[in-house]
Homo-oligomer: A and B are copies of this chain.
Amino acid sequence: MPTTKRPPPDNLLLAALPVEVRRRLIGESAPVELNFAETLHESGDTIRDVYFPLNGFISLITPADGRAQLEVGLVGSEGMLGVSVILGVDTSPLRALVQGTGTAWRVDVAHLSRVLEDSGPARALLNRYLYVLLTQLTQSAICTRFHLVEARLARWLLMTRDRARANRFHVTHEFLAYMLGVRRVGVTSAASALQKRKLIHYARGDISILNSRGLAAAACKCYAADRKTYARIMA
């Protein structure tokens, strides 16, 4: 279930490009569908296409030994999936999983490379985005290590809302547990605590954010820190 609608959905990176570059990049093509639970990149595999989401959101997941796994990044309308291509490596270090149905511009890797070679502004923009991603990654590392599940959950919900541009999305406790690297029960108790405080509402995999101010207060500082960095670097 997609969700709320806002007038002009565009990918923020593409929107920041010079028009001619943007035109050359995505040309006449139409955005593709991002289907729930679809794996766009598998860890270790060769990347053929990169994606610039318009809505929906994509989780970047690192597989660990055993069943353990952990989400280390989140890509939505503010970013791009497949940054390693910018660095000239077309092997994906992470698994990219569509968590929120939506649409995205898809660009062939070779084509992107050609455009990047010719356009300094495009290189600069994507490099800056990469820098942001890097800082978010370190922030995630800290967060995962030190913060309580409840605060981390609140942060995740807010980040997702921003990226998907929707206050309501489909995620079960079980999936959240995978993302946060904790047990499902841990998510259940954290989520029910947030629900009791009327910050969110959920039922059978549908989560709505009721009070984002309150949720931000319940989240760890990492959320604010990430936003600040994005604003500062991408401005």
Q: Which residues of A contact B (CB under 8 A)?
A: 62, 64-65, 68, 70, 72, 84, 86-89, 93-94, 124, 127-128, 130-131, 134-135, 137-142, 144-146, 181, 221, 229, 233
| A138: chain B residues within 8 A (beta carbon) | 62, 72, 93-94, 137
Residues of B within 8 A of A70 (CB): 141-142, 145-146
Query: Given the complex of chains A and B, what is the CA–CA distance between A142 and B165 in angstroms?
Result: 28
The copy count of this chain in the complex is 2
Q: List 16 A-B contacts (CB under 8 A).
A: A62-B141, A64-B142, A70-B142, A72-B141, A86-B127, A87-B128, A87-B130, A87-B131, A88-B124, A88-B127, A93-B134, A93-B135, A93-B138, A134-B137, A141-B141, A145-B145
Known: A68-B142, A84-B131, A137-B141. 4 other contacts (CB 8 A): A65-B221, A89-B128, A93-B131, A144-B144
Name which residue of chain B comes closest to A143, CB basis.
B64
**Lowest 8 CB-CB distances: which A-B pairs, in order?**
A87-B127, A141-B141, A87-B131, A93-B135, A89-B131, A64-B142, A62-B138, A144-B145
Bound-state CA distance A195–B174 (Å) is: 41
**Chain B residues near A134 (CB-CB < 8 A):** 84, 87, 93, 134, 137
Q: Which residues of the other chain, B, contact A140 by a CB distance below 8 angstroms? A: 141
Instruction: For A146, give the chain B residue with the smallest CB separation.
Output: B68
Residue in A94, A130, A138, A181 with the greatest tally of chain B CB atoms within 10 Å = A138
Indicate if the CB atoms of B141 and A89 lie closer than 8 Å: no
Bound Cα distance A74, B45 (Å): 27
